[in-house]
Chain A
Amino acid sequence: MDIIDKKQAIKELKEKNKFLDSRDVFSKIKDLSSPFDNYFLQTRFVSLFNNLNKEKLNLKKIRIAILATSTVSHFVEVLKFYLAKDGFDAEFYECDYGTLRQTILDTKSTFYKFNPEITLLFTGYRDVKFNVLHGANYSEIDNSVKQVVSEFTNLWKVLQENSTSIIIQNNADIPSFRILGNYEVSVQWSNINLLRMFNLELSKSVVPGVSIFDLDYISSLFGKKNWQDMHYWYYSKHMFCFDAIGLTSFEMAKTILAIKGFSKKCIVLDLDNTLWGGVIADDGLEGISIGEGTPSGEAFLNFQKYLIELKKRGIILAVCSKNFEETAMDVFLNHSDMQLKLNDFSAFKANFKNKAENIQEIATMLNIGLDSMVFIDDNPAERLLVKQLLPDVCVLDIPEDPSMFVQYLSSQSLFEIVQFSSEDLKRNEYYQDNAKREQTKKQFSDLKDYLQSLDMEAAVGDFDEYNLPRIVQLINKTNQFNLTTIRYSESEIRERLKNDMTIGRYYKLKDRFGDNGLIAIVILEKETDNSLTIDTWLMSCRVLSRGMEEFICNDIIEIAKQKGCARIIGKYIPTKKNKLVENLYENLKFVNVSKLGEKTIWELNLNNYNQRQEVFIRKLELVENQENQ
């Protein structure tokens, strides 16, 4: 849609706004707006958005501080809109112009009182000053780069000592002007190479709780020629041009989304004209286009290779195609140019039911939310159906030309992460192992026999450094088996654990089919001499109904006894997603002692209750730093 059409569409929406539901208008604004729209269009969208009834949009509140070395008010307005597109109602704190350092160093500043969840250190190349002379040698350069990086890492230290906020730090947007011309690339002491080294060293110096925002990449993507608009720098200290605000806001919102744990997890793929050119049922194995030799075949080949790379980093792949199962599988089994194999997929639906039904079934089978799924299909009719029936699924309007598929998918920034744990590498294995378990289950008519046959072992330990990234990931991602849905950042957990009365326990589970990894955690508080409170209890949905619930309860009881507590208190705070555990405490023989609005409090009195629940899981107690698989 070109600019004139968009301007017209916005005008129409503005008029209809009075008659339409806020959610409908918001949905239309979301479809219309794009990160590459110019500044003027972005402000029209922001204006439309600001006139909506935000209560109806179901946005999650989030507090973000932006500490900048330039004027960012116009950027923040648009960033708020892009955060809303991703489901957040952001409240911003902006420091006074030119006070970034003071704001961080003054522990009594209003910034710390604001208590942001996320702090953007919105700096740029002008904040990076080297004292390197022409012709400097390598060690002089290395020292200077490290010294400049330490100016930033020192600020992070102070911030982290005084706040539990996550930090997003910009790197340097390398400018387009050159002093040595093309020769800058050939010497270490040139402005451009120094900044490149700075950016690399900055990324190397990252500590838990800090993420780097690649502003340099964004300036390249937008186009360095136009990224800087110098007359706005001189007049009003805007560090990049207004037309780049859309793109920068889009990418920043995706990074924040990733920190909150809401990036997408799964891609559902059509087959015909999506993974290969042509229609298998009509064209047969010899007729479909996949492989070197033709432009179209090569494009599909590279799309498959890209998907394999995504799968390797933990994104789940699934197939949903309108074909006979045999016909569809035939291609994977017998076409020698296919890159994707059947076991790259965690779900494979080839049938003639409607795709929305299939996608819903895939979600249920994998135990993931519809809102974590992406649907790719070349057929606009299928896309429209899924968009209408399953509005939570992200349906991509992929370009018609397959040579554009990879770039398009990459540019949507759907799978941002801020931490990479070894669990991510193994995620697809878990889903495949699980399929084998389900097969076995069908053979046993007695649940107890089945559980026993699994030969399960749970490794248990107190929170430690090695497991902390995965623990934090679970705390921020788990929605269904989560009794209280309290989110903690890594620094907040470290803070809590400093208290002797707080105990964090993690649980891993493996069986004869495979290792599920770290799948549950509890955080316990000895709040009084006699009672132990379960502040947090959550578990991955991969391991439901195997006895882990009872196993963990037994572990908590043991800890309570060790600490001399006769009472264990559990809390349940209902949310839209955790109905699953509504009756958990009741099933574990806790008694409901009070109700505060929606929240219920439960108690297990060990004086009255002395049974260990029967479980078919062996316990392996780990001590800190014990080598984990």
Chain B
Amino acid sequence: MSIDRESLKERLNEIFLDIFNDDTIKICDEMTADKIAGWDSLKHITLVVAIEDEFGFKFSASEIGELENIGEILDLIEKRASK
């Protein structure tokens, strides 16, 4: 069962728009935390919780810390998403 990566990216982008309250955000695979204003450690957690809620799976404690860029996040989501 493979879910289209593009549609996952769309949904992930929605999450970013909401959390950072910025209608102009357009995520891409290489994007890292320093590229978006306000993406600090606390916002990172809010982001992770939102992703878990949206895609229906849970990150492990170590995974949460290892997410380096959008591409890696999408890889994980592709593997684990249940909705």
A residues near B (Cβ < 8 Å) are: 38-40, 43-44, 47, 71, 73-74, 230-232, 234-236, 238, 242
Instruction: Find out whether the CB atom of B49 lies under 8 angstroms from the CB atom of A39.
Output: yes
Instruction: Find out whether the CB atom of A231 lies under 8 angstroms from the CB atom of B60.
Output: yes
Instruction: Find out whether the CB atom of B46 lies under 8 angstroms from the CB atom of A74.
Output: yes
B57 at the interface (CB under 8 A from A): no
B residues near A (Cβ < 8 Å) are: 18-19, 21, 41-42, 45-46, 49-50, 53-54, 58-62, 64-65
Name which residue of chain B comes closest to A238, CB basis: B45
Instruction: Find out whether the CB atom of B61 lies under 8 angstroms from the CB atom of A40.
Output: no
Instruction: Find out whether the CB atom of B65 lies under 8 angstroms from the CB atom of A47.
Output: no
Name which residue of chain B comes closest to A233, CB basis: B61
Instruction: Find out whether the CB atom of B18 lies under 8 angstroms from the CB atom of A47.
Output: yes
Instruction: Find out whether the CB atom of B64 lies under 8 angstroms from the CB atom of A74.
Output: no
Q: Shortest CB–CB separation between residue B54 and chain A, in angstroms?
A: 8
Q: Bound complex: CA of A39 vs CA of B45, how far in Å?
A: 12
Q: Which residues does chain B contribute within 8 Å of A235, judged by CB atoms? A: 45, 61-62, 64-65
Instruction: Find out whether the CB atom of B59 lies under 8 angstroms from the CB atom of A242.
Output: no
Q: Bound complex: CA of A231 vs CA of B58, how far in Å?
A: 9
Contact A38/B53 with A231-B58, A231-B59 known, Cβ cut-off 8 Å: yes
Q: Bound complex: CA of A92 vs CA of B61, how far in Å?
A: 29
Q: Bound complex: CA of A576 vs CA of B64, how far in Å?
A: 51
Instruction: Find out whether the CB atom of A40 lies under 8 angstroms from the CB atom of B53.
Output: yes
Q: Bound complex: CA of A40 vs CA of B53, how far in Å?
A: 7
Which of B50, B59, B65 is within 8 Å of A40, CB to CB? B50
Which of A44, A230, A236 is within 8 Å of B45, CB to CB? A236
Contact A242/B49 with A44-B18, A73-B42, A74-B42 known, Cβ cut-off 8 Å: yes
A-B contact pairs, 24 of them (CB 8 A): A38-B53, A40-B49, A40-B50, A40-B53, A43-B19, A43-B50, A44-B18, A47-B18, A71-B42, A74-B42, A74-B45, A231-B59, A231-B60, A231-B61, A231-B64, A232-B61, A234-B61, A235-B45, A235-B62, A235-B64, A235-B65, A236-B41, A236-B45, A238-B45
Name which residue of chain B comes closest to A234, CB basis: B61
Q: Which residues does chain A contribute within 8 Å of B18, judged by CB atoms? A: 44, 47
Q: Which residues does chain A contribute within 8 Å of B41, judged by CB atoms? A: 236
Which of B21, B54, B58, B60 is within 8 Å of A47, CB to CB? B21
Q: Bound complex: CA of A232 vs CA of B49, how far in Å?
A: 10
Name which residue of chain A comes closest to B15, CB basis: A40
Q: Which residues does chain B contribute within 8 Å of A238, judged by CB atoms? A: 45
Q: Which residues does chain B contribute within 8 Å of A232, judged by CB atoms? A: 45, 61
Q: Shortest CB–CB separation between residue B40 and chain A, in angstroms?
A: 10
Q: Bound complex: CA of A234 vs CA of B60, how far in Å?
A: 10
Q: Which residues does chain A contribute within 8 Å of B53, judged by CB atoms? A: 38-40
Q: Shortest CB–CB separation between residue B69 and chain A, in angstroms?
A: 19
Q: Bound complex: CA of A500 vs CA of B59, how far in Å?
A: 63
Other contacts beyond A47-B18, A238-B45: 17, CB < 8 A? A39-B49, A40-B49, A40-B50, A40-B54, A43-B46, A47-B21, A73-B42, A74-B45, A74-B46, A230-B61, A231-B59, A231-B60, A234-B61, A235-B61, A235-B64, A236-B41, A242-B49
Q: Bound complex: CA of A73 vs CA of B43, how far in Å?
A: 10
Q: Shortest CB–CB separation between residue B82 and chain A, in angstroms?
A: 16
